[in-house]
Amino acid sequence: MTAEPNMKGGAVRFAPSPTGLMHVGNARLALVNWLFARAHAGTFVLRLDDTDRERSRAEFAQAIEQDLRWLGLAWDRYESQSARLSSYDEACARLRAAGRLYACYETGEELDYMRRRQIKAGKPPIYDRAALKLDESDRQRLESEGRKAHWRFRLEHKSIRWDDLVRGPQEFRGENLSDPVVVRADGTYLYMLPSAVDDADMAITHVIRGEDHVTNTAIQIQMLDALGAPVPAFAHLPLMTDASGAKLSKRLGSVTLESLRKDGIEPMAINSLLARLGTSEAVEPHLDLDALVATFDITRFGRAQPRFDPAELKALNAKLLHMMPYAMVAERLTALGLGHADARFWDAVRRNLERLEDAGVWHGVCYAVVTPAIEETEFVREAAKVLPPDPWSETTYGTWTEAVGERTGRKGKALFLPLRLALTGRSHGPELKTLLPLIGRKRAFARLHGEAA
């Protein structure tokens, strides 16, 4: 790892393909880029890599925007590759003129056969550059047969080096890499060239992405050099896996942001977890993104693959709710239809919530009809006889249970559990000293007598 870079005034980009719903691995890259930009007073660019006409969908693009807004990751600039095709055409023309793009005519079957032969011979499956040997008459003959050219970028056979902000010094040899196809036979662009052109045109200073792009980086450095464009700094994060160690994929049903939202997970629980996964720092809940920005350092990410554990996220979600002040949830409680959910109610129940929606359960216990669970009729009726008069406060429960203990000789669980079951219908929950004043004397008296109230 290298020292934390200075990128004040620079730019990063999050460049998803709108071919599926965002999963937590995508969200982690978006978050790290956003935090990096904010920590260095830079620009965060949302760029849709949507040149894949067959798989890109408008509904997925909209879902990406919705997910980022939900996480609080506002972008400073929005771009889509489908609106920038003329820029790629111009770059291709320049590279052809410089002799860095060349036409190829092999079919997919022929390329596959060549790769299998190379592997069988113990050689790396690298394109053999046979198309560079074609002259004009060869090309005319192939085109007369109905073949259409696809175009490859010709790599220079020399060392390619960069100092990765996560992986440290990296080096590739051009001769060990296959010249990549950049334009398909139908004239559409593959990922490699548009990405490099966009990074140059948008003045991207730092590219932060998954380690599956390390080889692509070596190729794109040569593309940028060939275009006379500056080369950004690079940081390649280890890919996150699921709890079992399996690869995450938006097309294989991995945990999506949409599913987490529907499950009642708080966006800051996700941000708090993903900002620390892959570092040696402890995962703790944070109430807002500013707290994560203040402590962000890209060099703290290591090389080990982090695992996403839904159970860890759920536990973190509960911790976050437990520390949330009423002002942060007031409007949301009202939106849930919890008309009596004031600050007193929130302080009484928040430490027993796993999801905000769970507040509805305790709202019902306090203000709706509850069927009591009476296991010891005589005992709870004796307890009802010494219920203190109104007004009630948080000291009422202690005063009451002390009187019940003196009257019945009970203490501990034998005293408290039957009262909880009668008053709430449940064997566990928030402290009764906070719930009892919300339930009120009238309901409590009725429930202690076995009445639904």
Question: Hey, where are the domains in the chain?
Answer: 1-77+193-323, 86-183, 326-367, 377-448
Beta carbons within 8 Å of 380's beta carbon, 6+ residues apart: 374, 418, 419, 422, 448
pLDDT at residue 126 greater than cutoff 50? yes
What is the identity of the amino acid at 172? F
Q: Are residues 188 and 53 in contact, defined by beta-carbon separation less than 8 angstroms?
A: yes
Residue 6: is its pLDDT beyond 80?
Answer: no
With CA atoms as reference, report the closest residue to 301 among 244, 248, 235: 235
Task: Convert the pLDDT of each residue in 59-116 to its tens digit.
Answer: 999 999 999 999 999 999 999 999 999 999 999 999 999 999 999 999 999 999 999 9
Give pLDDT tens digits for 281-293: 999 999 999 999 9
Give the predicted TM-score (pTM) of the model: 0.92
Residue 440 pLDDT > 80? yes
pLDDT at residue 194 is higher than 90: yes
CATH architecture of 1-77+193-323: 3-Layer(aba) Sandwich (3.40)
* Sign of the alpha-carbon dihedral angle for 354, 35, 288, 335: negative
- C-beta atoms surrounding 448 within 10 Å: 24
Side chain identity, residue 318: A
* pLDDT over threshold 70, residue 192: yes
Ordered strands of the 43-48 beta sheet: 11-14, 43-48, 77-80
Tell me how far apart the alpha carbons of residues 423 and 366 are, in angstroms, rounded to a whole number: 9
Residues 221-270: pLDDT tens digits? 999 999 999 999 999 999 998 888 888 775 555 689 999 999 999 999 99
b/e for 78-116, b at 16 or more Cβ within 10 A? ebebbebeeebeebbeebeeeebbbbbbbeeeebeebbe
Q: Are the folds of 1-77+193-323 and 377-448 the same?
A: no
- What kind of fold does domain 377-448 have according to CATH? Arc Repressor Mutant, subunit A (1.10.10)
Rounded to 10°, the helix 441-448/377-385 angle is 150
CATH 3.90.800.10 is the classification of domain 86-183: yes
Q: Residue 16: is its pLDDT beyond 50?
A: yes
